[in-house]
Structure 1
Amino acid sequence: MAKLIVAEKPSVAMSYAKVLGATNRKDGYLEGNGYLVSWCVGHLVELAPPNIYDAKYVKWSIADLPILPERWQYLVSASTKKQFGILQKLMHRPDVDSVICATDAGREGELIFRLVYQQAGCKKPVFRLWLSSMEENAIREGFAHLKPSTEYDALYNAALCRERADWMVGINASRLFSCLYGQPLAVGRVMTPVLAMTVVREAAIAAFTPEKFYTVALTLADGGTASSKRFAQKADAELLLSKCRKEGRVTVQKMERKEKSESPPQLYDLTALQRDANRLLGFTAQQTLDYAQSLYEKRLITYPRTDSRFLTEDMAASLPGLVTDTGRALAVEEPFPIHVQQVINGSKVTDHHALLPTKSMANADLAALPAGEWNVLRLIAARLLCAVGEPHRYAETTLTTICAGEEFTAKGKEVLEEGWKAVERKVLADILNRKQELTALPNVAENECGILNAELKEGQTSPPKHFTEDLLLHAMETASADSMPEGVERQGIGTPATRAATIEKLVQKGFLERKGTKKTKVLLPTDKGKALITVMPEEIQSPEMTADWETKLLQIERGEMEPSEFMTEINTMITELVKNTEMKKGANALMKNKIIGVCPNCGANVVEREKGWFCESNPCRFVLWKDNAFFKRLGKRLDAHVADKLLRDGRVRLKDCKSAKGKTYNATVLLSCEADGRSKFSLEFEGGC
């Protein structure tokens, strides 16, 4: 008899097969040593679209809302039909006595496998492989300690509720608002509140009025600069300045020296890693996740989609060895301190422990890694060395003086012990944008001290910061913190595994755009994004409600809440939304599509939308698609400039078109229309091709 192992990706399946000795390659699976090893390719089985429940849903109409399936239907994804067929066949093979779910050890991985298993009509016993590392010994250990699939039923229920809630909000809200405002508007359970955060932040920045303030700065004869309090009126500061210059000395009131300590940072979870990679390296959250996933599959780091920053007690014994190996791989001189207990707390570990480099890193050819992967690996490895290190100790000195009846203070800082920061500086020197530390103050022996210079300084209050990916991830992670009662566990919006995809979707849909330098890009809502949030009712754009749902999904995952209770709540919310939402007054002007010309077929306006330039007149079928096959064949893109020329002149001249044989030529594209208004293109050549 044989066991069937189902992995999430072909590359992961290959790793399992190698360890288990299933070396015989077949079409869509590997076989050998009593195992069949196959794989899914993303979501093989997906929720059916509304028209599968009723053909009338092909047309979008408010009258048909809400769409709330009673019996959920699933379809095999068209692009992955072949692989599903292979898995179905393998599941029903007479010699297969059990199935091992070896997809990613998390909510989505559980869902991917279960839907395939059910859609295939399989009834054979299922066991679960749960890994945090792709190293060979971890894989062997995992297969030696498989668990019954039933232990993960609550995780599956949470995944199912998440998928169905997202479908219901997405389908109903997108149709409702698209019909109300006469254009396609994508609305999402997580996506829309995140967009709302950026719109609120930009409104706060736009409404901010900077206020000027003035201080007097004194350069002291014994070193250091002492500053006065802030003055709102320049005249008050100028009066103090002239008095200080006349007086020429300060009287020392007190000198305070406080020794302080900065504890080592915690290990990384995925969100903390994405934030640092964005701040220090300029990577998007999605890029960081992609690099981390690749490092995981290369066995260089542990499972990346984790929300924990601690390790379990059973890892304590092997940790010093891992730290030593990691230090050697990064050329950090020994001995360095290893305080294991700082990173151990099993009660704070959920599905997976914090991100770590693996033992395999010590013997890997790190120079062969792509730059992005190497930098992410360096961050993770450096964080391990820092997290088990000594505190960073420093002394802060505050000198309080009086001049012309006003108090002036000077601050200084002196490093006593570098601690964990010495390791961080050594490993990440080239990417840490560390500001110059404050210098130490002299010990003023006298009660008085001379003034070398006195000057007026002008400053102004700063507006809130634009969201970078680092700051937006933090806002998503801590969403609704202010409104939650003390002690309640908060989950924020989205999960570490999905936050990057949410940001990417907002950019791709044209609601957010990245602006700025290569390293420091800010995320700004577009006019389309601002307009969408302006017409959204509070409950759809509120981070509170979405964060509350995330907490309930976590309760379902732990078996503390019934899935039916959660789904009833979602049903009620959507039914109320459809019943109570009306078009906002004045919003039509706000939601207007950009008119770029006149339709050559019927004379109505042609407006820009996400996928192309469409005629606004209903029966007319004129459209210029952005992803245009005719222009693609010429090696060109149909962009706004080309669309504008075609609508104005009916023709556009293109240079350096490419023929099928790779030769280049110049030509003019002529635009005409079919009887129903569909666009038709033809070429006028300027010379032989």
Structure 2
Amino acid sequence: MIVCIAEKPSVARDIAEVLGAHTRKEGYIEGNGYQVTWTFGHLCTLKEPHEYTPNWKSWSLGSLPMIPPRFGIKLIGHDPGIEKQFHIIEQLMQNADEIINCGDAGQEGELIQRWVMQKAGARCPVRRLWISSLTEEAIREGFSKLKDQSDFQSLYEAGLSRAIGDWLLGMNATRLYTIKYGQNKQVLSIGRVQTPTLALIVNRQLEIANFQPKQYWELKTNYRDTTFSALIRKSDEEIAAEEEKNGGKKKIDNPGIDPIANREEGEALVQRIKDLPFVVTSVGKKDGKEYAPRLFDLTSLQVECNKKFAYSADETLKLIQSLYEKKVATYPRVDTTFLSDDIYPKCPGILKGLRDYEVLTAPLNGSTLPKSKKVFDNSKVTDHHAIIPTGVYAQNLTDMERRVYDLIARRFIAVFYPDCKISTTTVMGEVDKIEFKVTGKQILEPGWRVVFAKDVKDTTEEKDDDDENVLPAFAKGESGPHIPDLNEKWTQPPRPFTEATLLRAMETAGKLVDNDELRDALKENGIGRPSTRAAIIETLFKRNYIRKERKNLIATPTGVELVQLIHEELLKSAELTGIWEKKLREIEKKTYDARQFLEELKQMVSEIVMSVLSDNTNRRITIQDAVAAKTEEKAKKEPKKRERKVSTPPKEKKKNSEAGESKEAKTEVSPSPVATPISSLNNTPDSLVGQPCPVCGKGIIIKGKTAYGCSEWKNGCTYRKTFE
């Protein structure tokens, strides 16, 4: 008898139907020489510390680090349903002639089923079903191409190394920090990916809190109803000084362009040019192409859904998983935006199956589909290809599922459309040796853009980048009157993370990039895996380390204090964590030894324990109370728009005024709690932590042994508030 084991009952039913197994038994389906059974996701996990030795049951610093000589597995919890299903699986496997591992086709899916087979004592040969969708065609094709289990040994070793690494760091660091710095028996949760992710949010929040806006002015002029921007050039001496300051590196963005630093200088320029003619010095046109957006991997789909629909990463993962199980989308937990060459012959059939999109697919019918290297590239595909529709008619979808499916379907259709052809016009002008510039864009042939014609841009940035801006016809040498204007501007702080921008930061280990090719290069060093990042973000919410204000992710006082408390860079550095992630990928590719990875991790854990134990301070962290946590969880799930009055940067009213008079403007609530005035905070002292100092305005409030103080105390700030 051949035993097939799937990851969940619904997948087992689909497989059994294809195999001709129709007799339902308790815990499995039988027929045609097959017994098809299932798990409920994870049935097994690594043992708890006390299951290795009783000495590790109580939490004490003396027992750290906890490093078992050999790791063992156990059934999860004490769920009677799980125990019953496992015993059914165990009996089937011990009597099987062959086992077919039909688990989820990924690292985690491989680990889930390997642990079950180990726990069940399976001894017979094992083969692997590896498919990218659950359609009948895909399942039949997969069973015709079963692979030996040994082909996936490195995948299993990478998953096992990840699980052991998370256990070693999580168990030891959580106990270490809880005992050393916690109070009231409240757990301080530390994780290999969780803590660096929290640090990204906290560091961004502190950047915003400490940001000092600077005033500057922009000179513009209106000529023939077109606004030109002045290019105020720096002197050669200023450029040389700037390069020397940057270690000999030239500034790539707007080299030699200097903002106007004070109003007097700007007004003098206006007076200098207002009565002189504007002269067009050059008109340049350049035709170009814009390529269709890439197909989705999991992260880019989560980013897009957060931007367009405000779906959380976890919601999007659940929705695309549901679409996969409904057979209308391919395997979701992928990190590539490319398709393999063997998918190309199937594409006409997939397009034909998109019946709700016949208006868009009609122009592609009857013609040979283009096969672009930007879409089809075997070298960019490992276990699975990008997320695409399967061609199965999408019906009985929820509204949320329909939105996600629509994104996937349109991306897939668009890659077969012609490129968008554009013309970019750059016009340069001059008034009394001051250069001016304007750039226009005209769409000559929309190409793939017609597929997204219904989309409404979400942000000002998207509109600036994508919309047409057709300029009047200018001729070199023409001149005429113009109206100069001086615009007051303020430098802007970094924006708080949203789930979309945080996912991108996790993907690139904290490096913010917009270029797809560069992003691909940095993926190797990303923190976490595409399939786990949503769970990491949700964990931060559950631990009350972060909360959500509209779309923005805000670190709670506890989250801020925890990150500030951790001095071990190995625990909170996104880049260092990315290096560990790269090693796990190399284990999967058989270019790095799993044993060496675990030895390095054990050494790291030992060093962290020694470092924290040598801390002689008496610092303590107070976890938010349950009421505050519950309120914030509700706010996370039901974000509301609120308005209040906040101060805008001061405008200069008098020549000798230092700051001018502040102007009150009605705007949406500040995305960062660090911008909230001290007087408006609640009466909980720990809510002060991370707020701007009310005395110096430069530092933030930190918690000391006996009182709250300012992070700038070394520089002379006198703020102090004793514990109540």
Q: CA deviation at 1:9?
A: 0.7
Indicate the residue corresponding to 1:476 in structure 2: 506
Deviation readout 1:594-628 (Å, 9 max, x if unpaired): 6x8xxxxxxxxxx989799xxxxxxxxxxxxxxxx
Q: Does 1:351 align with 2:383?
A: yes
Partner of residue 90, structure 1:
92
Match of 2:271 in 1: 242
Give the number of the structure with larger relative contact order, counting CA–CA contacts within 8 Å between residues 6 or more apart: 2
Pairwise CA distance, 1:431: 7.4
Letter in 1 for 2:544: G
Matches within 5 A, 1:225-624: 225-229=227-231, 230-247=259-276, 249-326=277-354, 329=357, 331-332=359-360, 334-336=362-364, 338-342=369-373, 343-360=375-392, 363-365=393-395, 368-426=396-454, 428=455, 435=463, 437-445=467-475, 447-451=477-481, 453-479=483-509, 490-516=524-550, 521-536=551-566, 537-582=568-613, 588=619, 591-593=621-623
SS in 2 for 1:209: coil
Q: Is the 8 A contact 1:9 1:41 kept in 2?
A: yes
Which residue does the alignment assign to 1:630?
A: none
Give 1:328 shift: 5.6
2:612 and 2:587 map into 1 onto residues whose CA distance is 30
Separation in 1 of the partners of 2:618 and 2:403?
Answer: 46
Check 1:111–1:611 CA distance in 2 against 1; reply closer, same or farther (3 A cut): farther
Q: Tell me, yes or no, if the aligned pair for 2:215 and 2:261 is still in contact at 8 Å.
A: yes
Q: Which of 218, 223, 228 is the aligned partner of 2:221?
A: 218
Answer yes or no: is the 8 Å Cα contact 1:400–1:409 preserved in 2.
yes
Q: Kindly tell me: are residues 3 and 157 of structure 1, through their superposed partners in 2, closer, same or farther at Cα, counting changes over 3 Å?
A: same
Q: Within 2, Cα distance between the matches of 1:73 and 1:89? A: 21
Residue aligning to 1:149: 149
Residue of structure 2 in register with 1:654 after alignment: none
1:402 CA displacement: 1.6
Rate the CA distance shift 1:452–1:253 in 2: closer, same or farther, 3 A.
closer
- What do the CA deviations read for 1:271-324 (whole angstroms, capped 9, x no partner)? 111111111111111111100000000000110001111111222222233234
- Deviations along 1:433-489, one digit per CA (max 9) or x if unpaired, are 8526242222224734333533221122221121111111111111166999x9887
Please tell me whether the aligned partners of residues 525 and 582 of structure 2 are also in contact (alpha carbons under 8 angstroms). Answer: yes
- Correspondence for 2:18: 19
Superposed CA offset, 1:24-51 (max 9, x none): 1222111112111111112111111111
Query: Shift of residue 424 of structure 1?
Result: 2.0
Is the CA contact (8 Å cut-off) linking 1:224 and 1:441 kept in structure 2?
Answer: yes
Aligned match of 1:205 in 200, 204, 208? 208
User: d(CA) in 2 for partners of 1:97 and 1:145?
Assistant: 19
Post-superposition shift, 1:386?
A: 1.8
Whole-angstrom CA distance in 1 between matches of 2:272 and 2:616: 60
Deviation at 1:236, TM superposition (A): 1.4
Residue type at the aligned position of 2:474: V
Q: TM-score, normalised by structure 1?
A: 0.81
Mind listing any 5+ residue stretches in structure 1 that lack a counterpart? 597-606, 613-643, 645-689
SS at 1:186 equivalent? coil
CA contact (8 A) 2:94 2:123 kept: no
Q: CA RMSD in A?
A: 2.6
CA change 1:487–1:14 in 2 (3 A) is closer
Structure 2 Cα separation of the partners of residues 36 and 491 of structure 1: 41
Q: Structure 1 stretch 335-344 or stretch 115-124: which is displaced more?
A: 335-344
CA distance in 2, matches of 1:401, 1:430: 31
> In the alignment, which residue of structure 2 is the partner of 1:114?
114
- Contact 1:319–1:340 (8 Å) recurs in 2: no
Contact 2:360–2:413, Cα closer than 8 Å, also in 1: no
Determine the C-alpha separation between the residues in 2 that align with 1:165 and 1:387.
Answer: 40
Q: Secondary structure at the match of 1:549?
A: helix
Residues 13-92 of structure 1 mapped to structure 2, 5 A cutoff:
13-77=12-76, 78-79=78-79, 80-92=82-94
Residues 120 and 166 (structure 1), Cα distance of their counterparts in 2 relative to 1, 3 Å cut: same
Distance 1:464 1:270 in 2: 26
The aligned amino acid for 1:43 is H
- Compare the two structures and name the one with the higher strand fraction: 1
Match of 2:104 in 1: 104
Residues in 2 aligned to 1:261 and 1:573: alpha-carbon distance in whole angstroms: 50
- CA pair 57-446 structure 1, distance change in 2 beyond 3 A: closer
Letter in 2 for 1:164: I
Question: Structure 1, residues 525-581: CA drift from partner, whole Å, max 9, x if none?
Answer: 111111111111111111222111111111111222221111111111111111222
Contact between 1:181 and 1:583, CA under 8 Å: does it hold in 2? no
Q: Is the 8 A contact 2:507 2:523 kept in 1?
A: no
Asked if 2 retains the 8 angstrom alpha-carbon contact of 1:515 and 1:524, the reply is yes
Cα gap change, 1:495 to 1:593, in 2 (>3 Å): closer
549-558 vs 404-413, greater mean Cα deviation = 404-413
- Residue 135 of structure 1 is matched in structure 2 by 135
How far the C-alpha of 1:74 sits from its partner, in A, is 1.7
SS in 1 for 2:360: coil
Q: Which residue of 1 aligns with 2:195?
A: 192
| Separation (CA, whole Å) in 2 of partners of 1:568 and 1:294 | 39
Structure 2 Cα separation of the partners of residues 81 and 270 of structure 1: 33
Structure 1 residues 431 and 535, CA gap change in structure 2 (3 angstroms)? closer
Letter aligned with residue 39 of structure 1: W
Cα drift, residue 387 of structure 1: 2.1
SS of equivalent residue, structure 2 residue 549: strand
Structure 1 stretch 189-198 or stretch 225-234: which is displaced more? 225-234
Q: Secondary structure at the match of 1:331?
A: helix
| Structure 2 Cα separation of the partners of residues 407 and 348 of structure 1 | 45
Distance 1:332 1:489, change over 3 A: closer
| CA offset digits 1:60-92 (Å, max 9, x no partner) | 111000100112122112222121111112112
Partners of 1:186 and 1:445 in 2: CA distance: 66
In the TM superposition, what whole-angstrom CA distance separates every residue of 1:370-429 from its partner, at most 9, and x where no partner exists?
111111111111111222322222122122112244222222211112121221224x45
Residues 237 and 62 of structure 1: CA distance in aligned 2, closer, same or farther (over 3 Å): same
Aligned residues: 586
Q: 1:592 to 1:162 in 2, by over 3 A?
A: same
Q: Deviations over 1:336-371 (max 9, x none)?
A: 4832233111111111011110121xx332xx3111
One-letter code aligned to 1:102: C
How far apart, CA to CA, are the structure 2 residues paired with 1:171 and 1:112?
A: 21
Identity, in percent, stands at 38
The 10-residue stretch of structure 1 (329-338 or 36-45) with the greater mean CA deviation from structure 2: 329-338
